[in-house]
């Protein structure tokens, strides 16, 4: 007999973990998720879509995950794409095929929410058209107004979710007749919208789209599930969940540098809505923070180094987008921003990544406050692009270190200046650094001060 309904919804033990980016993305979430997968059972994506690019490096093998949780490399773990994700079925199927070709098992270990929304080709068309329009047609004294999106259709797909009547969900792909009937209405309206942007002259063909997407639905059918019940069943059976944030807190639609953000709640606040798991189930929130800052696309970046030093960090950190290949903008670590993200996400610990990249600099800087246009100072972040553009970073300058730290056996054996840098971050943010990442590989990691042991590999 199944547990009575009231029992099922009792407060779950807070033994679940969230991984979340504390900056503007690409903090090394994929690497840390992979590291923590060993001690969890189910890895769950709750937001974003194929705009994410999470890299996991295992020896010479490098995997770039976009929609599938980074835990997929472990054959005995379950991976869930939650209802808060926007799924591009074509990209997802390509990702499944690529992983299988590389010997990774992708079967019923991958579950996809029937309520996740679908990114359709017209969403990508809309995304690109709006970016072009804002870039070319509205360029004015303030410059280009485009966001610099990944053009993966993310914003338009989430917009359709909120508009309701124009949306398609993964479950809809499993019912060809229903899908076709919806697409007949949607395509008429969407064609008119695309024509207004001056990008489409031929009408969208609902029958062709319905046939193609119903076929994708058939291929995805074995994975489609009611992920909310699946996750609650797993929790009730004592399994530990690991939530994998995509994008990052400063790109959160509500709490990021609006409007230069993505269209989902990428902070941990997106977890309950994006999975159906209540926030109090999560006992550990590991915020991922690069030892410096990067940003891809447009938007304010107070500590940006638009100079030779920024270029040097870009080359040493190989700061080129995992999804789009775009060069990432680089700058000093902004602790005003990180402290804000840690607060919003409820970070209980920090993983400081790409720490090896800072070796060889005479001095390193930490932004601890901003100077506002009226000359006053603040230690509070300003999650509004227009106002944030006006601030000037106030730095503390610390001595740098020349040693290569990649093979350091423990935190105590890092150069003194490197330890001081980490200690100062902990002091300013008020959250302990539990993990220090010294290279892209699993073993190039200090966990609780000591070198992570080599893990059983995929």
Q: Residue 442 in contact with residue 349, Cβ under 8 Å?
A: no
With a CB cutoff of 8 Å and minimum separation 6, the contacts of 152 are 49, 50, 51, 88, 91, 119, 124, 127, 323
Q: Binder to ligand IMO among 12, 25, 69, 331 (CB under 6 A)?
A: 25
Least distance (Å) between residue 200 CB and ligand GDP: 32
- The per-residue b/e assignment along 296-333, b for 16 or more CB within 10 angstroms, e otherwise, is bbbbbbbbbbeeeebeebbebbebebbbbeeebbbbbb
Q: Between residues 26 and 252, which has the closer beta carbon with respect to Mg ion?
A: 26
Distance between CA atoms of residues 324 and 409, nearest Å: 35
Q: Does the protein bind Mg ion through residue 53 (CB under 5 A)?
A: yes
Q: Does the protein bind Mg ion through residue 293 (CB under 5 A)?
A: no
Q: Binder to Mg ion among 17, 22, 26, 156 (CB under 5 A)?
A: 26
Q: Does the protein bind ligand IMO through residue 26 (CB under 6 A)?
A: yes
Distance between CA atoms of residues 224 and 74, nearest Å: 20
Q: Does the protein bind ligand IMO through residue 21 (CB under 6 A)?
A: yes
| 54 counts as catalytic | yes
Quickly count helices (H) and strands (E) in the chain: 13, 21
225 binds, options Mg ion, ligand IMO, ligand GDP, none, Cβ within 5 to 8 A by partner type: none
The site for ligand IMO, by CB under 6 A, has a size of: 24
34 binds, options ligand GDP, Mg ion, ligand IMO, none, Cβ within 5 to 8 A by partner type: none
Helix, strand, or coil (residue 275): helix
Pairing type for strands 282-290 and 349-353 reads parallel
Q: Which stretch binds ligand IMO (CB under 6 A): 91-99, 111-119, 149-157, 368-376?
A: 149-157
Q: Which of 12, 74, 15, 10 is nearest to 43 (CA)?
A: 74
Q: Which stretch binds ligand IMO (CB under 6 A): 19-27, 68-76, 101-109, 427-435?
A: 19-27
Could you say which DSSP state residue 133 is in?
A: I
346 binds, options Mg ion, ligand GDP, ligand IMO, none, Cβ within 5 to 8 A by partner type: none
**Phi, psi for 426 (deg, rounded to 5):** -60, -40
Least distance (Å) between residue 35 CB and ligand IMO: 16
Q: Does the protein bind ligand IMO through residue 248 (CB under 6 A)?
A: yes
Q: Which of 109, 123, 47, 32 is nearest to 82 (CA)?
A: 47
Q: Binder to ligand IMO among 44, 56, 214, 251 (CB under 6 A)?
A: 251
Q: What residues are paired with 81 via a beta bridge? A: 45, 112
Q: Between residues 15 and 57, which has the closer beta carbon with respect to ligand IMO?
A: 57
Q: Between residues 148 and 390, which has the closer beta carbon with respect to ligand GDP?
A: 148
Could you say which DSSP state residue 184 is in?
A: H
155 binds, options Mg ion, ligand GDP, ligand IMO, none, Cβ within 5 to 8 A by partner type: ligand IMO
Q: Binder to ligand IMO among 262, 293, 303, 353 (CB under 6 A)?
A: 262
Q: Binder to ligand IMO among 17, 83, 146, 149 (CB under 6 A)?
A: 149
88 binds, options ligand GDP, ligand IMO, Mg ion, none, Cβ within 5 to 8 A by partner type: none
The single residue of 16, 40, 54, 123 carrying the catalytic annotation is 54
Q: Which of 93, 94, 121 is nearest to 224 (CA)?
A: 93
Site string for ligand IMO, 43-82 (x = CB under 6 A): --------xxxx----------------------------
Residue with tokens 């972040």: 381
Distance between CA atoms of residues 35 and 456, nearest Å: 10
262 binds, options Mg ion, ligand IMO, ligand GDP, none, Cβ within 5 to 8 A by partner type: ligand IMO
Name the site residues for ligand GDP (rule: CB under 6 A).
Answer: 21, 25-31, 53-55, 57, 317-318, 322, 353-357, 437-440
Return the H-helix or E-strand segment holding 233: helix 227-236
Q: Residue 283 in contact with residue 15, Cβ under 8 Å?
A: yes
Report, as residue numbers or ranges, the catalytic residues: 26, 54
- Residues of this chain that interact with ligand IMO (CB under 6 A) are 21, 24-26, 51-54, 147-150, 152, 154-155, 246-248, 251, 262-263, 296-297, 322
């Amino acid at each position: 007999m199944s547990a009575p309904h009231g029992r099922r919804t009792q407060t779950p033990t807070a033994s679940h973990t969230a991984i979340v980016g504390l900056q503007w993305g690409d903090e090394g979430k994929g690497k840390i998720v992979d590291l923590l997968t060993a001690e969890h059972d189910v890895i769950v994506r709750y937001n974003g879509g194929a705009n994410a690019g999470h890299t996991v490096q295992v020896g010479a093998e490098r995997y770039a995950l976009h929609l599938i949780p980074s835990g997929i490399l472990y054959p005995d773990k379950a991976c869930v794409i939650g209802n808060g994700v926007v799924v591009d079925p074509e990209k997802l199927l390509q990702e499944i095929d690529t992983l299988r070709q590389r010997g990774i098992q992708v079967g019923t270990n991958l579950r996809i929410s029937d309520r996740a929304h679908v990114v359709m080709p017209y969403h990508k068309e809309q995304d690109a058209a709006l970016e072009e329009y804002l870039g070319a047609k509205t360029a004015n004294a303030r410059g280009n107004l485009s966001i610099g999106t990944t053009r993966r259709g993310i914003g338009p797909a989430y917009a359709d979710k909120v508009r309701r009547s124009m949306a398609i969900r993964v479950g809809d792909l499993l019912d060809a007749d229903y899908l076709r009937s919806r697409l007949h209405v949607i395509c008429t309206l969407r064609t008119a919208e695309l024509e207004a942007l001056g990008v489409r002259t031929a009408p969208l063909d609902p029958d062709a789209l319905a046939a193609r997407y119903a076929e994708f639905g058939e291929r995805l059918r074995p994975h489609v599930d009611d992920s909310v019940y699946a996750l609650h069943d797993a929790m009730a059976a004592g399994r530990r969940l690991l939530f994998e944030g995509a994008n990052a807190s400063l790109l959160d639609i509500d709490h990021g540098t609006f409007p230069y953000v993505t269209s989902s709640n990428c902070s941990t606040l997106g977890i309950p809505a994006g999975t159906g798991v209540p926030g109090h189930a999560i006992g550990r929130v590991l915020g991922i923070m690069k030892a410096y800052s990067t940003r891809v696309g447009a938007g304010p970046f107070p500590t940006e180094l638009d100079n030779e030093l920024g270029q040097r960090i870009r080359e040493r950190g190989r700061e080129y987008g995992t999804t789009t290949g775009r060069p990432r903008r680089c700058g000093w670590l902004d602790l005003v921003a990180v402290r804000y993200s840690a607060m919003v996400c409820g970070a209980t610990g920090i993983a400081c990544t790409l720490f090896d990249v800072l070796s060889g600099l005479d001095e390193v800087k930490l932004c601890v406050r901003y100077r506002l246009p009226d000359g006053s100072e603040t230690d509070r972040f300003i999650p509004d692009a227009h106002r944030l553009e006006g601030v000037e970073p106030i730095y503390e300058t610390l001595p740098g270190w020349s040693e290569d730290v990649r093979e350091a056996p423990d935190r105590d054996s890092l150069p003194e200046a490197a330890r001081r840098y980490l200690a100062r971050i902990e002091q300013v943010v008020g959250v302990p650094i539990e993990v220090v990442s010294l290279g892209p590989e699993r073993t190039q990691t200090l966990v609780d001060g000591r070198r992570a042991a080599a893990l059983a590999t995929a």
